[in-house]
Amino acid sequence: MSTTADELRDEVRRRYAEAAAAAELGGCGCTENGGCCGNVACDGEAASFGEALYDADQTGELPEAALLASLGCGNPTAVAELREGETVLDVGAGGGIDVILSAKRVGPTGTAYGLDMTDEMLALARQNARDAGVTNVHFLKGLIEHIPLSADSVDVVISNCVINLSTDKPAVLTEIARVLRPGGRLGISDIVADDRLAAAERAERGSYVGCIAGALSKAEYEAGLDAAGFEQVSVEFTHEVADGMHGAIVKAVRARGPERKRLPVADAAPGSGCC
């Protein structure tokens, strides 16, 4: 019997809720059966996921729970080259590590949003932001396929090993393009497959919630970004996490000019989700 998209999403939600609960208690919630993307704080520097993600200066200014709940495969805050005064959105914010780092980079005149679907992760992220002393942050509950922000409202979108978990990746890329201002930047870390691997072969290498089975190939990523209205697209492999599966840096710029058709999404109420 095949697994439906809703069942996959519920499994992702459950696993990451468990990870948030474990992080609050000072432990790791993703260490059994490839439960979710790996964590350098739990698995060590030799782990395939999370290899040398953040330097000591960054980790030294973060709450321990934020590190324990960091389940990514890269450092999108470095990839995106954030600037003072910008508005940045982290798609799939988890425990808030990249939102906190982004808030520090854009400074008091900038704003950092974090979007997540898991109540437990949102609660942890808000607490981590308070513990880190950052105030220019807003955490929003929602799906990355339906981002609760206005069109043309964000300068930069980042994400850390989350888009591979979506069951509707074209919708995610279209939504990211919708909320970005013309000329806005996408800078994300994700798991990406070699073009030679079919979907079934990717599934053989790891689970969906473990960030493997649902990964796009390099060519699929490039085509999806182009279809969503991006230009200057690049997908660069950084390290191998399984045979033919790689941590990757994905960059693109939302094209200027005529609008492409995008999914309608209701705007978030002013201040909603703010911590």
pLDDT tens for the chain, residues 1 to 275: 456 777 767 776 677 666 656 656 555 555 544 455 554 444 443 344 443 465 656 555 655 555 554 556 667 777 788 999 999 999 999 888 889 999 999 999 999 999 999 898 899 899 989 989 999 999 999 999 999 999 999 999 999 888 988 989 999 999 999 999 999 999 998 999 999 999 888 888 776 566 677 889 999 999 999 999 999 999 999 888 888 999 899 999 999 865 444 433 333 333 334 44
What structural domains and CATH numbers belong to the chain?
Answer: 5-254 (3.40.50.150)
DSSP the chain: -PPPHHHHHHHHHHHHHHHHHHHHTTS-SS-STT-SS--HHHH-TT-STTTT-S-HHHHTTS-HHHHHT---SS-HHHHTT--TT-EEEEES-TTSHHHHHHHHHH-TTSEEEEEES-HHHHHHHHHHHHHHT--SEEEEES-TTS--S-TT-EEEEEEES-GGG-S-HHHHHHHHHHHEEEEEEEEEEEEEE-TT--HHHHHHTS-TTTTSTTPEEHHHHHHHHHHHTEEEEEEEEEEEEETTEEEEEEEEEEPPSSPPP----PPPPTTTTB-
